[in-house]
Amino acid sequence: MLPYNEIKDKLRSMLTPHRFNHSLGVEKIAVLLAEKYDADVDKVRIAALVHDCAKDIPEDKLIYTANKYGLELDDVSIAEKALIHGPLGAKLAREYFGIEDDEILHAIALHTTGGKVMNKIDRIIYLSDFIEEGRKYEGVEYLRELAFIDLNAALLKSFENTIDYVISLKSLLHPNTIYARNTLIMEMRKNGGINK
């Protein structure tokens, strides 16, 4: 893997200034969450910084680029091309930054949709993308506070916000988001963190 500063410089050249600043914001909050919840800070820092490395690929080139990297796309991702940048970003992170760590790559791949199996790093990256300081939407301040009180409760709320938003746009929901929400609720019920 390239040294942190080289990754940062290379990423800056791949993204618009707005997207690069967003990535720095995600990194900042993700590191704080990693420290709070005893996650691997170094892995979280890199995953957060690089999570959107495929975001600025033009929409008309996403499918071609995904095919080039052997990424199998489901029907929902083909119809909602913005969903491609997560799994594609994991492929680019390996090639452009030399990232081989499976936990980092998994977190990058899942940061947009979530997934049925999400470890602590995956959860932190997904949530950090949702609450970084540049995000402005109703309820974000509450979610930022909740993130430092109960990671899973904040993650569940972020899934529900995403689902509500996607429905309001009459867009397609990715099955991974539904799986992620359902798995999290079952886990929280098992641990006594949520009731029916």
Total number of domains constituting the chain: 1
Residue 99 belongs to some domain of the structure: yes
pLDDT band at 196 (very low <50, low <70, confident <90, very high): low
> Is residue 196 in a domain?
no
Tell me the CATH number at 88. 1.10.3210.10
Tell me the residue range of the domain where 94 lies.
4-190
Is residue 110 included in any domain, yes or no? Answer: yes
Say if 128 falls within a structural domain. Answer: yes
| CA-based end-to-end distance of the chain | 45
Does the residue 120 lie in any domain?
yes
pLDDT digits (tens, 9 = 90+) for 16-44: 999 999 999 999 999 999 999 999 999 99
Is residue 69 situated within a structural domain? yes
Question: What distance lies between CA 131 and its chain's CA centroid?
Answer: 11
Domain presence at residue 163: yes
pLDDT tens sequence across 105-155: 999 999 999 999 999 999 999 999 999 999 999 899 999 999 999 999 999
pLDDT at 193 over 90: no
Share of the chain above pLDDT 70, in %: 98
Whole-prediction pTM = 0.96
Domain assignment of residue 149, yes or no: yes
Whole-angstrom CA distances from 78 to 63, 83, 84, 108, 176 are 7, 8, 8, 19, 14
Q: What is the pLDDT of residues 147-160, one digit of tens each?
A: 999 999 999 999 99
